[in-house]
């Protein structure tokens, strides 16, 4: 069935915006659409002729929507609602993003995204951002977080959350050139001081693996433990021990020769870097645009060679 659009304004006036059903008679329906009764009557008659069915039973004293007219009206009403939502979505996209965005981010990923965040705020001066740098799992609803950046070995399975994958993060062994020169194989790692990225007391386990399937667990008492990657990186540069750090946090130090990638065949378990937010539908324009900006500009080359 061919329906004229935009000449008849979508579904022949979208069954005239369902005014016939709401108003109850042609005169009131015409006023609702700001059209003369005679014109509205002709348009309805034309629609009935094209469809080959009677949509409205009318006389000088009576006005009634037929059963098929009622069904047609219900479908038109649903399509009208979707069309209005689509128009609202476009209007939102065209409006200038504004308001507060609360984002949580692991401390080790603050540095890689800082340039992207700064650029976004410069482009959208009406947006305010609270960047919560924290390594524990946050409850988005309870803590009023709009979007969280997470690194996990597997994606979160919460059906109430929407996820958008960004890339992979790998932890690698690094040390100062002096310490790196003393390590010949994986067994030699046990003879070196270590630097841990945890605040927990006592023994720490490093689970290491290779691309060909070999695994090794190093159980050790770290000389220094700190959840802040920057502090651990500085300690490694100072020659205090071997660290297992996300590659993106020590790439520059390796390029400058301050750190050495120790035993490059071995690495920690790969982490999946992804954004988590409560829902796609109904997101404020600022949050939606921020998510799209992070996904488009995320420095994937900083996560893996």
pLDDT tens string 110-141? 888 899 999 999 999 999 999 998 878 888 98
Q: What is the average per-residue pLDDT within 275-301?
A: 83
**Do residues 270 and 153 make contact, with C-beta atoms less than 8 angstroms apart?**
yes
48-52, 187-191, 203-207: range with lowest mean pLDDT: 48-52
**Of 97, 107, 94, the residue nearest 128 (C-alpha):** 97
pLDDT at 85: 74
- pTM of the full structure: 0.55
pLDDT at 21: 42
Helices (H), 95-213: 107-123, 177-180
Beta strands in 182-255 (DSSP E): 194-196, 204-209, 215-220, 224-225, 242-246
**Of 155, 157, 109, 140, the residue nearest 277 (C-alpha):** 140
Sequence-distant (≥ 6) Cβ neighbours of residue 194 within 8 angstroms: 204, 206, 218, 220, 221, 222, 223, 241, 242, 243
For residues 91 and 107, what is the distance between their CA atoms, to the nearest angstrom? 36
**Do residues 19 and 32 make contact, with C-beta atoms less than 8 angstroms apart?**
yes
Opening angle at CA 130, ends 125 and 134, nearest 5: 150
For residues 28 and 24, what is the distance between their CA atoms, to the nearest angstrom? 7
Predicted confidence (pLDDT) at residue 159 exceeds the cutoff of 70? no
For the chain, what is the mean pLDDT?
80
pLDDT at 293: 93
Predicted confidence (pLDDT) at residue 26 exceeds the cutoff of 80? no
Specify whether the backbone of 277 is left (phi greater than 0), alpha (psi in -120 to 50) or beta. Answer: beta
pLDDT at 20: 46
pLDDT at 1: 33
* Residue 162: φ, ψ to 5°: -105, 135
């Amino acid at each position: 069935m061919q329906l004229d659009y935009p000449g008849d304004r979508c579904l022949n006036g979208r069954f005239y915006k369902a005014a016939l059903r709401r108003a109850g008679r042609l005169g009131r329906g015409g006023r609702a659409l700001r059209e003369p009764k005679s014109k509205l009557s002709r348009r309805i008659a034309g629609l009935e002729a094209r469809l080959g069915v009677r949509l409205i039973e009318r006389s000088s004293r009576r006005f009634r929507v037929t059963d098929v007219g009622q069904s047609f009206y219900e479908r038109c009403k649903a399509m009208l609602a979707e069309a209005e939502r689509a128009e609202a979505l476009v209007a939102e996209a065209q409006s200038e993003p504004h308001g507060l965005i609360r984002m949580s981010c692991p401390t080790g990923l603050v540095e890689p995204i800082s340039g992207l965040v700064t650029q976004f705020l410069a482009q959208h001066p009406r947006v305010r951002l609270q960047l919560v740098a924290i390594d524990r799992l946050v409850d988005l609803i309870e803590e009023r977080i709009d979007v969280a950046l997470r690194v996990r070995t597997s994606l979160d399975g919460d059906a109430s959350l929407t996820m958008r994958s960004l890339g992979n993060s790998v932890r690698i062994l690094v040390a100062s050139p002096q310490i790196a020169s003393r390590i010949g194989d994986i067994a030699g790692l046990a003879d070196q001081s270590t630097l841990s990225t945890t605040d927990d007391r006592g023994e720490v386990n490093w689970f290491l693996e290779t691309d060909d399937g070999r695994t090794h667990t190093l159980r050790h008492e770290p000389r220094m433990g700190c959840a802040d990657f920057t502090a651990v990186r500085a300690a490694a540069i100072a020659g205090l021990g071997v660290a297992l750090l996300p590659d993106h946090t020590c790439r520059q130090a390796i390029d400058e020769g301050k750190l050495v990638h120790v035993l490059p065949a071995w690495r920690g378990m790969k982490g999946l870097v992804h954004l988590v937010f409560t829902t796609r539908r109904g997101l404020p324009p600022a949050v939606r645009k921020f998510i799209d900006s992070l996904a488009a500009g995320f420095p994937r080359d900083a996560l893996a060679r």
